[in-house]
Amino acid sequence: MMDLISAVVLGVVEGATEFLPISSTGHLILFNQWFAFGEDFTKLFNIVIQSGAILAVIIIFWKDLWPSTWSLKELESKWGRIIAAFIPTAVIGLLLGDYTEKYLFTPSVVAAALIFYGLVFIFLEKSKKMEYAHSQIVYSHALIIGAAQALALVPGTSRSGATIVAMLLLGYTRAAAARFSFLLAIPTLLAASAYSLYKYESSIQSQELGLLAIGFIVSFIVAFAVSKWFLAYVSQKSFLPFAWYRIILGLLVLALVILN
């Protein structure tokens, strides 16, 4: 029964946090302190629930991603900037991903990153004029955004948070930043999941298949609902609630680390 509860809870956590600027990896590290499986199965489970979240976003943005004519012009229009942004993320991830996973996946690092980027969001919301539209993303900006996304290798940073911060600094609107962050998430998370699966060496037990299915379904449903809500939210309101959430959670985690 505890394994079933863990599968549901972690599926909800992944689906709710993957595309919000609050760090899904950071939350999973924290929740795995209480709702965890064996070390090897936890790695596989995290891949599966992330896949559920990815599928939700692919469905939401299907019309934006799937070309109608497959002409080079349309392919470049739909995928060009996404691919350009993905390249620096992939290169940096391959170079540093294993190192950060080995040395930085700790509650204290999560707490520090949560607080730091919470303060960054507050600063940007208070001081930055946002003036560009999504259609004005240029390739040089895409490369910068992709490099910024690689900062999410540090747990607690947030992949979406890093890309959104970069785009706000470049002058894009909240809605444009959120939208491109979602689109960039698709190749990034697919590649990360595929690489993690490639490194996975343990066998899967028959009783574990049900837990994987439950986690996938829960993550998909929650991610779909939260993503639709978030896209509507940022078109009208600021990132300040997420900034304060990050800071409060980071301080709580830091307090627990110090007390323990």
Question: What local confidence, expressed as pLDDT, does residue 54 receive?
Answer: 97
pLDDT (mean) for 128-138: 66
Q: What does the alpha-carbon distance between residue 168 and residue 160 come to, in Å, rounded to a whole number?
A: 12
Which is nearest to 82 in space by CA: 1, 181, 2, 10? 181
Work out the pLDDT band at 73, boundaries 50, 70, 90.
confident
Which 8-state DSSP code applies to residue 132?
B
In the chain, what's the furthest Cα-to-Cα distance? Answer: 60
Total residues found in the chain within this entry: 260
Given a cut of 60, whether residue 133 has pLDDT beyond it is no
- 70: helix, coil or strand? coil
Mean pLDDT across the chain: 90
SS3 172: strand
Alpha helices in 128-205 (DSSP H): 139-149, 159-169, 174-199
Tens of pLDDT along 144-158? 999 999 999 999 999
Q: In the chain, helix, strand, coil percent, each to 5?
A: 80, 0, 20
**Angle (CA) 100 137 26, round 5°:** 25
- Does the pLDDT at position 134 exceed 80? no
Smallest Cα–Cα separation from 145: which of 175, 185, 111, 101?
185
**Amino acid (one-letter) located at 23:** S
Expressed in angstroms, the distance from the first to the final Cα of the chain is 28
pLDDT tens per residue, range 20-68: 999 998 898 888 878 777 777 888 899 999 999 999 999 999 988 887 7
- CA 80 to CA 179: how far, in whole Å? 15
pLDDT, tens digit, 9 for 90 and up, residues 218-251: 999 999 999 999 999 999 999 999 999 999 999 9
Q: What is the mean pLDDT of residues 7-27?
A: 94
260 has pLDDT over 70: yes
Quick one: what percent of the chain has pLDDT higher than 90?
68
Q: Is 113 helix (H, G, I), strand (E, B) or coil?
A: helix
